[in-house]
């Protein structure tokens, strides 16, 4: 399910600060929506924007896939009996899958009973994902893949998707202001956030409605699994963080503007 957020009438504090700065309320609301989009990008799993977040996301994808699938080599290593393991490998190499299956069922340990089958293109992996979290809770693989190269290709393809859901929110921020300022975090050693910003283009949308006195801005991620990687509690926390940052920035601007007026007088 995609994620849509309506940011309606600015609270009184924002309205007051907008008035003091002589800024249209809609502009202030746009700024808040941009801050929310940046925070959503940060809070969407994998949490963060740096290399550590990218690496954690990629490792999680690999772990989940191998919770569902095992390679023939893994099945061979799962057989403790050396003679049986050798017989399994010979049968597999000779494409005698029935015999290889019989040996695995009799002498396998954690993979005993797993079916030796052709790779299904990732269907079992997608089916095993939890609807709410998107993660795989399966305790052991259910399929020993006959074509490990196809499985490896699938793993590499899925890894490339890491950061796409975050990138959709970066796309929203870019549409609002033309900038993703605030997404990069030097504290994380994040020199560049390209692994996020080069993905997700076209998956974010922004629409404005309401009146100048009571503006509404709607930001949306059309990524189908958006709610899986940014749940409601993370959304609420991110929006609170964005609101506090917005108010702090406006208060600073008001103090600066007041100081300049006093100096000019």
The angle at the Cα of 195, spanning 190 to 49, to the nearest 5 degrees, equals 40
Annotated domain spans of the chain = 3-44+163-260, 56-159
pTM here? 0.80
Condensed to tens digits (0 to 9), the pLDDT of residues 56-93 reads 999 999 999 999 999 999 999 999 999 999 999 999 99
Rounded average pLDDT over 222-251? 83
Whether the Cβ atoms of residue 105 and residue 112 lie closer than 8 Å to each other = yes
pLDDT at position 188 over 80: no
How far are the Cα atoms of 161, 167, 184, 243 from residue 39, in angstroms, in the given order?
A: 20, 12, 11, 10
Task: Between 6 and 226, name the one with better pLDDT.
Answer: 226
Q: Kind and range of the H or E element at 128?
A: helix 123-128
In this structure, the number of other CB atoms found within 10 A of the CB of residue 200 comes to 24
């Amino acid at each position: 399910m995609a994620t849509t957020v309506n940011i309606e009438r600015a609270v009184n504090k924002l309205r007051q600060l907008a008035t003091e700065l002589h800024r249209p309320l809609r502009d202030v609301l746009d700024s808040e929506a941009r801050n929310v989009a940046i925070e959503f990008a940060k809070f969407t799993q994998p949490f963060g924007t740096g290399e550590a977040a990218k690496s954690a996301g990629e490792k999680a994808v690999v772990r989940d896939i191998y919770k569902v699938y095992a390679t023939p080599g893994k099945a061979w290593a799962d057989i403790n009996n050396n003679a049986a393991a050798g017989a399994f490998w010979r049968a597999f190499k000779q494409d005698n899958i029935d015999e290889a299956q019989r040996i695995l069922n009799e002498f396998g340990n954690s993979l005993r009973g797993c079916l030796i089958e052709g790779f299904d293109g990732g269907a079992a992996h997608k089916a095993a994902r939890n609807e709410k979290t998107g993660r795989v809770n399966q305790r052991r693989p259910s399929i020993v893949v006959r074509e490990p190269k196809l499985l490896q290709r699938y793993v590499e393809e899925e890894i490339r998707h890491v950061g796409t859901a975050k990138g959709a929110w970066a796309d929203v921020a870019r549409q609002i202001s033309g900038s993703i300022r605030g997404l990069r975090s030097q504290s994380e050693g994040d020199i560049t956030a390209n692994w996020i910003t080069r993905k997700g283009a076209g998956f974010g949308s922004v629409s404005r409605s309401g009146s100048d006195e009571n503006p509404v801005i709607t930001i949306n991620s059309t990524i189908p699994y958006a709610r899986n990687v940014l749940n409601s509690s993370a959304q609420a926390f991110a929006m609170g963080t964005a609101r506090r940052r917005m108010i702090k920035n406006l208060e600073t601007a008001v103090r600066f503007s007041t100081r300049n007026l006093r100096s000019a007088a």
